[in-house]
Structure 1
Amino acid sequence: MITQPSIEDTFVGQTDPVANVSDVAAGSELVAAAGQVARLGRCSTDYDRLSDADALAGQRTLARLQHELDTRKAWMAKTLAQRSRWELGQEGLAKKHGYLSPEDLIQNLTGATKADTRKLVDVGRMLAETEAADAQQAAADAEAEAEAARRLLDQADPGSDGRHGPDLDGSDPDGFDPSGTDPSGTGTDRFSTLTLPPVPAPWHAPIARALSDGTLSIDAAHALRKGLGDIDTVVTGPVLTEALDRLLADAPTMNADQLLKAARQTRDSLDEAGIRVREQKAWDDRYLRIWTLDTGQVRVDGLFPPEQGEFIKATFDSLTSPRRGGVRFVDTDRAAWARRVQNDPRTTGQITCDGFIDLLRAGTTINPNEMLGGRRPAVQILTTVTPATPDRPVTAADILINPPGLAGQVGHGSIEGNTAPVSAETIERLICDSGTVDIRFDDHNRPLDVGHEQRLFTRAQRRALAARDGGCTWPGCDRPPSFTEAHHIDHWQRDHGRTDINHGILLCRTHHLLLHNQRWQIFENHGRYWLRPPATIDPGQTLIEMTGRAQGLLPKPAAAWHASAPPRT
Structure 2
Amino acid sequence: MAFFTDIERQVAVLRGLFGGDVEACDLSSRMAGLGGNELVDAVTAAAELARAAERVSIVGAGITASRSARSTGQDGLAQSRGHRTPAALVQDLAGLSHAEAQRQARLGLALLEADATDAVDADGTPDAGDARDSVAPVPPKVRPPWHGKLSEAMIQGRISATQQDTILRALGHPTEDDAGTHAAWQAAAEHLIEESAQRTVEELRIQARAIRDQLDPAGAERRYAERYGRRSFRIWTDADGIERGRIDFEDDGAAWIRAIRDAALRHRRGGPRFVDSAEAVQAKDLADDPCTNDQLSYDLLIDVLRAGALADAESVFGTRQAGFRIVQVMDASGSAVSTRTEDYGLSLPLAAAQQRVCETGSVTVTVDPFGNPLNLGRESRVFTPRQRVALSIRDGGCRWKGCERPASYCEAHHVDEWHADHGRTDIDRGILLCRHHHMQLHHSGWRITRAGKEDFVLHPPDGRPPTALTPRAALIAAWAGVDPPPKRFRPQVA
Coarse TM-score class (shorter-chain normalised): 0.5 to 0.7
Structure 1 CA distance for aligned equivalents of residues 86 and 131 of structure 2: 41
Residue 61 of structure 1 corresponds to 45
Aligned residue number for residue 380 of structure 1: 326
Mapped partners of 1:49, 1:366: distance in 2: 56
Cα gap change, 1:196 to 1:92, in 2 (>3 Å)? closer
Q: 1:430 matched to which residue of 2?
A: 356
2:249 maps to 1:304: yes
After superposition, where does 1:77-156 map in structure 2 within 5 Å? 77-82=61-66, 85=69, 102-103=86-87, 106=90, 112=96, 115-135=99-119, 140-142=126-128, 147=133
Q: Is the 8 A contact 2:174 2:181 kept in 1?
A: yes
User: In the alignment, is residue 445 of structure 1 matched against residue 431 of structure 2?
Assistant: no
Distance in 1 (alpha carbons) for counterparts of 2:207 and 2:256: 23
Residue 243, structure 1, aligned to residue 220, structure 2: no
CA distance in 1, matches of 2:322, 2:84: 44
Question: Take 1:117 and 1:80, find their aligned partners in 2: how far apart are those partners?
Answer: 11
Structure 1 SS opposite 2:117: helix
What is the TM-score of this pair, normalised by structure 1? 0.54
**Which position in structure 2 is the counterpart of 1:314?**
259
1:335 aligns with 2:280: yes
Question: What is the DSSP-based 3-state SS (H/G/I as helix, E as strand, rest coil) of the residue aligned with 2:328?
Answer: strand
- 1:312-348 Cα deviation digits (max 9, x unpaired): 1111223322221123364333222222221112211
AA partner of residue 203 (structure 2): Q
1:348 aligns to 2:293 (yes or no) = yes
The Cα shift of 1:311 comes to 0.6
What secondary structure is seen at the aligned counterpart in 2 of 1:240? helix
Taking the aligned partners of 1:113 and 1:440, their CA distance within structure 2 comes to 48
1:296 to 1:422, Cα distance in 2 relative to 1, 3 A: same
- Distance in 2 (CA, whole Å) between partners of 1:98 and 1:364 is 60
Q: Which amino acid aligns with 1:140?
A: P
> Relative to 1, partners in 2 of residues 1:333 and 1:380: Cα closer, same or farther, differing over 3 Å?
same
- The answer to whether 1:399 aligns with 2:334 is yes
SS at match of 1:257: helix
1:260-271 alignment to 2 at 5 Å? Answer: 260-271=205-216
Give the drift of 1:353. 1.7
Who is 2:155 aligned against? 212
Contact (CA 8 Å) 2:175, 2:181: kept in 1 or not? yes
CA distance in 1: counterparts of 2:239 and 2:120, whole angstroms:
58
CA distance in 2 between partners of 1:146 and 1:115 (Å): 42
Correspondence list, 1:147-186, <5 A: 147=133
In structure 2, the CA distance between the partners of 1:214 and 1:261, relative to structure 1 (3 Å rule), is: same
Question: Which residue identity lines up with residue 66 of structure 1 in the other structure?
Answer: A
Contact 1:228 1:264 in 2 (8 A): yes
Aligned to 1:302, the other structure's residue is in SS state strand
C-alpha distance 112-285 of structure 1, shift in aligned 2 (>3 A): farther
> Which residues of structure 1 form unaligned runs of 5+?
1-24, 151-192, 368-373, 387-397, 401-409, 454-569
- Kept in 2: contact 1:33–1:61 (CA 8 A): yes
Q: Which residue of 1 aligns with 2:14?
A: 37
Rg: which structure is higher?
1
Call closer, same or farther: CA 1:125–1:309 in 2, change over 3 Å: same
Q: Is the 8 A contact 1:130 1:205 kept in 2?
A: yes
Report how far residue 82 of structure 1 moved.
Answer: 4.3
8 Å contact 1:380–1:438 — kept in the other structure?
A: no
Q: Judging changes above 3 Å, is the alpha-carbon distance between structure 1 residues 135 and 194 closer, same or farther for their aligned structure 2 residues?
A: closer
C-alpha distance in structure 2 between counterparts of 1:237 and 1:56, whole Å: 41
Q: Which amino acid aligns with 1:423?
A: P
* CA distance in 2: counterparts of 1:263 and 1:122, whole angstroms: 19
Q: CA deviation at 1:93?
A: 6.9
Provide, for residues 506-536 of structure 1, a one-character-per-residue CA deviation record: whole Å limited to 9, x for no partner.
xxxxxxxxxxxxxxxxxxxxxxxxxxxxxxx
The Cα of 1:84 is off from its aligned counterpart by 5.5
**Unmatched 5+ stretches in structure 2:** 19-25, 313-319, 377-384, 388-494
Contact kept in structure 1, 2:236 and 2:243, CA below 8 Å? yes
Hey, what's the Cα distance between the residues in 1 that align with 2:100 and 2:262?
29
C-alpha distance in structure 2 between counterparts of 1:298 and 1:261, whole Å: 33
Which stretch has the larger CA shift, 292-301 or 37-46? Answer: 37-46
CA separation of 1:383/1:448 partners in 2, compared to 1, >3 Å: closer, same or farther? farther
CA offset digits 1:324-379 (Å, max 9, x no partner)? 11233643332222222211122111121222223333339989xxxxxx976243
Q: Cα distance 1:437–1:85, how it changes in 2: closer, same or farther (>3 A)?
A: farther
Answering whether residue 144 of structure 2 is matched by residue 201 of structure 1, we say: yes
Distance in 2, Cα, partners of 1:299 & 1:111: 32
Q: Which moved more, 1:264-273 or 1:299-308?
A: 264-273
Matched length = 360
Which structure has the higher relative contact order (CA within 8 Å, separation 6+)? 2
Query: What CA deviation, in whole Å up to 9, does each residue of 1:383-432 have, x standing for no partner?
Result: 2333xxxxxxxxxxx434xxxxxxxxx64422232433323322222234
From the superposition, tell whether residues 145 and 102 of structure 1 become closer, same or farther in structure 2 (CA, over 3 Å).
closer
Contact 1:384 1:442 (8 Å CA) reproduced: no
Q: TM-score normalised to the size of structure 2?
A: 0.61
Q: Structure 1 residues 38, 294: CA separation in 2 closer, same or farther (over 3 Å shift)? A: farther
Change (3 A) 1:347 1:70: same
Find the aligned partners of 1:321 and 1:97 in 2 and give their Cα distance.
55
Which sits farther off after the overlay, 351-360 or 301-310? 351-360
For the aligned residue pairs, the C-alpha RMSD in angstroms reads: 4.0
- In 1, the alpha carbon distance for the partners of 2:235 and 2:70 equals 34
CA distance in structure 2 between the partners assigned to 1:236 and 1:427 by the alignment: 26
For 1:226, give the aligned amino acid.
R
**Cα contact 1:376–1:434 (8 A) shared by 2:** no
**In 2, are the aligned partners of 1:380 and 1:413 still within 8 Å (CA)?**
yes
Alpha-carbon distance between aligned partners in 2 of 1:133 and 1:363, rounded to the nearest angstrom: 60
Q: Distance in 2 between matches of 1:31 and 1:309?
A: 47
Q: Which residue of 1 aligns with 2:30?
A: 46
Residue 202 of structure 1 and its aligned partner are, at CA, apart by 1.4
Assess, with a 3 A threshold, how the Cα gap between structure 1 residues 365 and 384 changes in structure 2: closer, same or farther: closer
Quote the Cα distance in structure 2 between the aligned partners of 1:146 and 1:91: 30
Other structure's SS at 1:419 match: coil
8 Å CA contact 2:330–2:338 kept in 1: the answer is no
CA distance in 1, matches of 2:212, 2:364: 23
Amino acid paired to 1:228 = L
- Asked if the contact 1:78/1:124 (under 8 Å) is kept, the reply is yes
Measured in 1, the distance between the counterparts of 2:139 and 2:96 equals 44
AA of the residue aligned to 1:205 = G
Distance of 1:434 and 1:85 partners within structure 2: 55
User: Does the 8 Å CA contact 2:237/2:243 hold for their aligned counterparts?
Assistant: yes
